């Protein structure tokens, strides 16, 4: 697989739209990137002989997450294909069926024995290849799964006991399923497709080419994920989800994963066109994404320059900058504009306020000084312009009196409305009586 470059510091949630109800089997941002292994890599490897005398190096699988297991299955199937093991099995099996139809003869029996030997050699090499490419605890787990699939009796859908399967390609697939269940859930394919199609978005700062490449990786893993169609009791016509997304569906996933600005730019150019080729869509989105990123950076730079001229939002919040009508900010030496002092401007002036006249003749003497008293003259007479603002001596409104007055007004209003209602009723009765008298005449 080709390498994918993620922006530094990218986390799993940076590539997700919303919050998935359950974590996917394979997240878009791989765990090897979000949780890199700091210890020295101790992965061992073996050389596998291929046809023609060639050898290929294969790293041993010693366990890991779902993505690591899918990568191992991809390498394993590639080895099967290069060694032509499955094709040999199918060819020998087809030839054996043809010979059986010809009838039982000594020559046919001898040919059948030879073909069965070739089939056994092919399947044994496949099982041995799995054993050789596993390491540690994964190897012990595989041996248990292999024994359960090949050497033990099993029950069919009707709960009837069947003999051991032996080593066949069917039992190899069943052993792989048992082995996969130790790493992933049985509906991994369904969960992965729901996550891939509905929650994946392109992380900020990631190139479109890397994003598309990563989507190709996720799409290649589907055939190796478990799906509900293989569970016991699943209906025969149940659709399988362990299949790759089509080019059209994958293109729609890539387009929906872009920001709204990039999507608007693409639709502005192509109208109502439906993308059907992922690589073509990648080439179309790449320049649009670059242009949008450039514009966003320019907007951020403009805002930064504007804040440096007029003061940032944090300065305005802290009160260190006050915008005037001319648009320029004012600062003091301390970086803060002081509030207007109360009283006469002297520090602590509010504690020194005292009016000798109010203290002598009555009134609140602590709210003002004698020189600004507007109530009493020096002779003890009230000034002509004085008006009592608070009639109650305690400075509190008489709420009981106000409530009583309000109740009286409401009672009078109800009485008046009742009297008007009676007048209307009488007038209506008089009008109806007069009309009836006219009709009788």
Q: Coil, helix or strand for 147? A: helix
Predicted local confidence at residue 102, as pLDDT: 80
- From residue 385, give the alpha-carbon distance in Å to each of 368, 371, 380: 17, 16, 15
Segments in 56-105 forming alpha helices (H): 66-83, 85-102
- CA 312 and chain centroid, separation: 32
Q: Categorize the per-residue pLDDT at 278 as very low, low, confident or very high, splitting at 50, 70 and 90.
A: very high
User: Please, which contacts does 265-274 make with residues 24 or more away whose CB atoms are closer than 8 Å?
Assistant: 265/291, 265/292, 274/248
Helices 278-310 and 208-221: angle between axes, nearest 10 degrees: 130
Structure tokens at 350: 């509010």
- CA quadruple 165, 168, 170, 172: dihedral positive or negative? positive
CB neighbours (10 Å) of residue 291? 13
List the one residue out of 355, 173, 157 whose CA is nearest residue 165.
173
Res 195 pLDDT > 90: yes
Q: Coil, helix or strand for 46? A: strand
**Percent of the chain scoring above 90 in pLDDT:** 37
Average pLDDT in the chain: 82
Structure tokens at 225: 């994920």
List the one residue out of 304, 308, 262, 259 whose CA is nearest residue 287.
262
Q: Categorize the per-residue pLDDT at 326 as very low, low, confident or very high, splitting at 50, 70 and 90.
A: very low
Report how far residue 344's alpha carbon sits from residue 352's, in angstroms, rounded to the nearest whole number. 10
Neighbour-count burial of 221, counting CB atoms closer than 10 A to its CB (0-12 exposed, 13-18 middle, 19+ buried): buried
- Specify whether the CB–CB gap between 11 and 30 falls below 8 A: no
Strand partners for 46: 58
- Range 153-157 average pLDDT: 85
Distance in angstroms between the alpha carbons of the first and the last residue of the chain = 110
List the one residue out of 232, 196, 235, 190 whose CA is nearest residue 216.
196
The answer for residues whose C-beta is within 8 angstroms of residue 373's C-beta and 6 or more apart is 355, 357, 358
Helix (H) or strand (E) holding 136: none
Segments in 245-277 forming alpha helices (H): 247-256, 260-270
Per-residue pLDDT tens over the stretch 37-77: 655 556 788 888 887 778 888 899 998 899 999 999 999 99
Q: Categorize the per-residue pLDDT at 316 as very low, low, confident or very high, splitting at 50, 70 and 90.
A: low
Predicted local confidence at residue 92, as pLDDT: 87
Q: Categorize the per-residue pLDDT at 97 as very low, low, confident or very high, splitting at 50, 70 and 90.
A: confident
The residues spanned by each domain of the chain are 44-184, 201-317, 349-386
pTM over 0.85: no
Predicted local confidence at residue 329, as pLDDT: 47
- From residue 138, give the alpha-carbon distance in Å to each of 46, 131, 150, 234, 324: 16, 10, 18, 29, 72
């Amino acid at each position: 697989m080709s390498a994918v470059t993620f922006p530094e510091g990218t986390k799993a949630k940076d590539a997700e739209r919303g919050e998935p109800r359950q974590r996917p089997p394979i997240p878009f941002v791989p765990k090897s990137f979000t949780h890199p292994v700091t210890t020295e890599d101790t992965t061992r490897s073996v050389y596998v002989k291929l046809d023609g005398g060639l050898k290929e190096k294969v790293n041993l699988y010693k366990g890991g997450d779902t993505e690591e297991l899918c990568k191992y299955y991809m390498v394993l199937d590639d080895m099967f294909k290069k060694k032509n093991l499955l094709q040999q099995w199918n060819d020998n099996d087809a030839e054996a069926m043809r010979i059986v139809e010809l009838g039982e003869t000594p020559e046919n029996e001898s040919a059948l024995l030879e073909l069965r030997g070739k089939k056994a050699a092919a399947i044994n090499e496949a099982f041995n290849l799995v054993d050789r490419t596993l390491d540690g605890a994964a190897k012990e787990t595989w041996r248990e799964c292999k024994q359960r699939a090949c050497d033990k009796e099993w029950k069919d859908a009707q709960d009837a006991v069947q003999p051991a399967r032996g080593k066949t390609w069917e039992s190899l697939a069943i052993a792989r399923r048992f082995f996969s269940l130790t790493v992933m859930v049985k509906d991994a394919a369904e969960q992965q497709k729901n996550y891939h199609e509905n929650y994946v978005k392109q992380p900020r700062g990631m190139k479109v080419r890397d994003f598309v490449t990563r989507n190709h990786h996720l799409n290649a893993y589907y055939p190796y994920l478990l799906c509900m169609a293989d569970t016991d009791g699943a209906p025969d016509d149940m659709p399988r989800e362990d299949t790759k997304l089509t080019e059209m569906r994958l293109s729609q996933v890539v387009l929906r994963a872009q920001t709204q600005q990039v999507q608007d730019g693409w639709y502005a150019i192509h109208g109502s066109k439906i993308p059907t080729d992922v690589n073509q869509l990648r080439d179309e989105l790449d320049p649009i994404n670059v242009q949008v990123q450039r514009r966003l950076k320019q907007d951020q730079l403009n805002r930064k320059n504007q804040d440096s001229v007029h003061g940032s939002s944090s300065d305005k919040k802290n009160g260190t900058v006050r915008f005037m009508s001319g648009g320029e900010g004012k600062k003091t030496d301390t970086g803060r504009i002081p509030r207007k002092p109360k009283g006469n401007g002297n520090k602590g002036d509010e504690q020194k306020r005292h009016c000798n006249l109010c203290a002598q003749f009555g009134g609140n003497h602590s709210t003002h000084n004698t020189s600004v008293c507007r109530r009493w003259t020096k002779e003890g007479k009230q000034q002509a312009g004085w008006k009592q603002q608070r009639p109650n001596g305690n400075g509190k409104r008489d709420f009981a009196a106000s409530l009583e007055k309000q109740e009286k007004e409401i009672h009078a209003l109800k009485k008046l409305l009742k009297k008007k209602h009676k007048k209307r009723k009488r007038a209506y009765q008089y009008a109806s009586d007069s009309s009836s008298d006219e009709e009788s005449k």
